[in-house]
Structure 1
Amino acid sequence: MKRNVLVARMDNLGDVLLAGPCVRAVAAGSERVVLLTGPRGRGTGELLPGVDEVLTWCAPWIDPEPPPVTEEDTGELVRRLRALSLDAALVLTSFHQSPLPLALLLRMAGVPWIGAVCEDYPGSLLDLRHHVPGDPPEAVRMLSLAQAAGFSLPAGDDGRLAIREPLPPVDGLLGREMLEDGYVVVHPAASVPARQPSAQRSAAFVRELQTAGHHVVVTGSPAESGLTREVAGSALDLGGRTRLPELAAVLAGADVVVAPNTGPAHLAAAVGTPVVSLFAPVVPASRWAPYGVPVVLLGDQHAGCRDSRARVCPVPGHPCLDGIPSGAVVDAVAHLTHRAASVGDRR
């Protein structure tokens, strides 16, 4: 058993959640796990089971609004890493990110063993250069690195996403009627415009769900409160009213979550709630769709933006998402609620 291991995943909220099974495997085979995140992913890092400490640093080669590279900033990270007296580190990245810049800094901090998924020649920067065949879900891809490094999930751990419990009470936010009758969450925002429907289309989804008899809750961050207000209409607007643990609790109580490819969709999966995934094909659904829960995938997966990693939709009218009929969302919610009731997989 290794004493002190660092796991790094330095991008967004959802990416860190998907690292959860890998983190739990490492925790089962070590005495202490330090999770290194970027500032955008720290909140979910604090929710992951198996994490003993969260260290945050903004990586200039990963963050979409990168800070300048300075000797002072990188030197401070190296000093912080050296003070941890690490025995090993696993560097988790998406397929288009390089683990080598961080591996170099870890070597400078004296970390004696480093592993990563890496296609580039690593020289002496890596002790384990892991290759992942095929195109598995991102959570499986990251877990495979831990397994290649000799770590295994503990007995009884099925490898799904998970967060720490208990979650905070949210009865005061939702009210008695929703708690008794059930509700559907619509989360309209994503981290980049190409991955979210227009406000008008999301508002149409909300109205159609209400017409079908569902109570609807609209969620979003404080920065997204203008969007949630426009989308919610007469539905309950919780935009800007929940911290991440409260958001997790709202998602956990929902019958179904309707969301684009965004962190809260993965948070819904981590609390076991089925997801209607409004998925723009700018990245592959095979890797990035919600993992480990029942999912209905909506959106044209063969649209002109496919695999482009575009941040702004390059196709006029955003047809892959704004072309989704409101009735298809209602039908998908009905399918998932019926499935949950019939197989007994509600929490």
Structure 2
Amino acid sequence: MIGAPMERILVVKLRQMGDTVILTPMLRALRRAHPRARIVVVVPSVWADLLETSPHIDRLIGYRGGSFYGTLALIRELRQERFDLGINPHASSRSAWILFLSAVTQRVVDNRSGRALFSTVNVPHPPRGRAAVERDLDCIRSLGLESDGSNIELFLTTEDRAVARRFLEERGLVDGALRVAIAPGASAPAKQWSAARFASVADILAQDAGVHVLLVGAPEETELLNEVESRMAARPTTVQISQLRHLAAILERCSLFLGNDSGPKHLAVGVGTPTLSIFGPEDAVEWHPYEAEEGHVAIIKDVDCREGGCGKKVCDDHRCMGLITVDEVVGGARTLLRLKKNRDSLTVRGGALW
């Protein structure tokens, strides 16, 4: 339990894009509980711009990793801050050591894989099937703090939205058209639905009246995007933007995000765009804590080998993804597009399509 208000708080989370986005409810709760505290956040530099505009952060540090001396310099810098409280949700070995060596008075490290040994506060071990965003919030609950919910948020600037508007206008994509953002990439091969099926879905949706398809991917996913486009009859608009808030602003102007369980899905949720997620080896309870009633649907196949999420990076079988059909995905997309157009008259019930 926290006694006196904290003056200096450190948060370290060195994970993926989605992990960074779902950190926002915890940061919001920290700021509400300690409005005058100096809150410093360390995340991977590649995702840092997502939190750069957050009103809940006083200083944001983008960790580049890889270098022993760079990590040592960061630890020295953090030690000078003399933090009262340090929090390490979804701890990695590196982030737990950084927090430990930064001379933080009180440390909260999530209780998994033995890393709770670095914690001075008891964080209950999360039950199986606990949503990742709730696990992050459990770290502050262990301090006696409460959250105002698990809704994630992104703070886009006027310039972010202006960049998105110009990008779309320069490609002839005027407001009023239905835009479907399709992201065929993922952080691991086992999490990817096939490029051929994404192409089929894109072509079918492109034939629907008023629908324009955007193929979304990271700069390093050019080969994958080219493969999807080469299999399409329609001509999509390709979106490869390294500035992630600009990408989020483009997704904000889309009618639907369709893709694998990946970081851009969480960006779309954060800006209020409906999402249709294709799930494979990961646990949807853990990584899809969103409601269908709010326009966020996951397509999941109930196969024995993925019970609770097997978490494989590569899989020779890949049944969990292979059993998901083009027709199922097209049907889910059309339902969500109708919901987008007629929010007052349509309600999708249940969190998954089977």
Q: Residue 220 of structure 2 corresponds to which residue in structure 1?
A: 223
Q: Residue 334 of structure 2 corresponds to which residue in structure 1?
A: 334
The structure 1 residue matched to 2:102, chosen from 87, 98, 109, is 109
Structure 2 unaligned residues grouped into runs of 5+: 347-354
Cα distance between partner residues in 1 of 2:249 and 2:97: 39
SS of 1:130 mapped into structure 2: coil
Name the aligned partner's letter for residue 29 of structure 2.
A
Structure 1 unaligned residues grouped into runs of 5+: 60-66
TM-aligned CA deviation for residue 82 of structure 1? 0.7
Name the aligned partner's letter for residue 86 of structure 2.
A
Cα distance between partner residues in 2 of 1:201 and 1:123: 43
User: 2:15 aligned with 1:11, yes or no?
Assistant: yes
Call closer, same or farther: CA 1:242–1:303 in 2, change over 3 Å.
Answer: farther
Cα distance between partner residues in 2 of 1:287 and 1:90: 20
Report if the CA contact (8 A) 1:266-1:291 is conserved. no
Cα distance between partner residues in 1 of 2:319 and 2:53: 35
User: 2:144 aligned with 1:150, yes or no?
Assistant: yes
Name the aligned partner's letter for residue 152 of structure 2.
L
TM-aligned CA deviation for residue 229 of structure 1? 2.9
User: 2:287 aligned with 1:288, yes or no?
Assistant: yes
CA root-mean-square deviation? 2.6
Q: Percent identity?
A: 24
Q: What pairs with 1:195-214 in structure 2 (closer than 5 Å)?
A: 195-213=191-209, 214=211
Cα distance between partner residues in 1 of 2:175 and 2:328: 25
1:309-334 C-alpha deviation (Å, 9 max, x unpaired): 2111231xx33324322222221122
1:187-223 C-alpha deviation (Å, 9 max, x unpaired): 1111111111122121111111112332111111111
1:283-321 C-alpha deviation (Å, 9 max, x unpaired): 210001263542222242426355332111231xx3332
Residue correspondences, number? 326
The structure 1 residue matched to 2:189, chosen from 173, 188, 193, is 193
Cα distance between partner residues in 2 of 1:108 and 1:287: 30
Call closer, same or farther: CA 1:119–1:203 in 2, change over 3 Å.
Answer: closer
1:46-101 C-alpha deviation (Å, 9 max, x unpaired): 35451222223356xxxxxxx47x4x4443232021122211111111xxx556x5
Q: What pairs with 1:57-136 in structure 2 (closer than 5 Å)?
A: 57=63, 67=66, 70=68, 72-93=69-90, 102-119=95-112, 125-131=118-124, 132-136=126-130
Report if the CA contact (8 A) 2:129-2:283 is conserved. no
1:22-52 C-alpha deviation (Å, 9 max, x unpaired): 1111122232221111244334333545122
Q: Residue 64 of structure 1 corresponds to which residue in structure 2?
A: none
Cα distance between partner residues in 1 of 2:120 and 2:59: 24
1:213-250 C-alpha deviation (Å, 9 max, x unpaired): 32111111111123223323434333324621121011
Cα distance between partner residues in 2 of 1:240 and 1:163: 19
The structure 1 residue matched to 2:154, chosen from 146, 159, 163, is 163
Report if the CA contact (8 A) 1:185-1:258 is conserved. yes
Call closer, same or farther: CA 1:124–1:181 in 2, change over 3 Å.
Answer: closer
Cα distance between partner residues in 1 of 2:266 and 2:17: 9
TM-aligned CA deviation for residue 144 of structure 1? 2.3
Report if the CA contact (8 A) 2:116-2:123 is conserved. no
User: 2:245 aligned with 1:245, yes or no?
Assistant: yes
Mean CA deviation greater in 232-241 or 306-315 = 232-241
Report if the CA contact (8 A) 2:12-2:43 is conserved. yes
Cα distance between partner residues in 1 of 2:73 and 2:108: 22
SS of 2:313 mapped into structure 1: coil
Report if the CA contact (8 A) 1:279-1:289 is conserved. no
Name the aligned partner's letter for residue 122 of structure 2.
R
Report if the CA contact (8 A) 1:6-1:89 is conserved. yes
Q: Residue 179 of structure 2 corresponds to which residue in structure 1?
A: 183
Cα distance between partner residues in 2 of 1:314 and 1:303: 15
1:235-287 C-alpha deviation (Å, 9 max, x unpaired): 4333324621121011111111101010000111111111110111x221000
TM-score by length of 1: 0.84
SS of 2:154 mapped into structure 1: coil
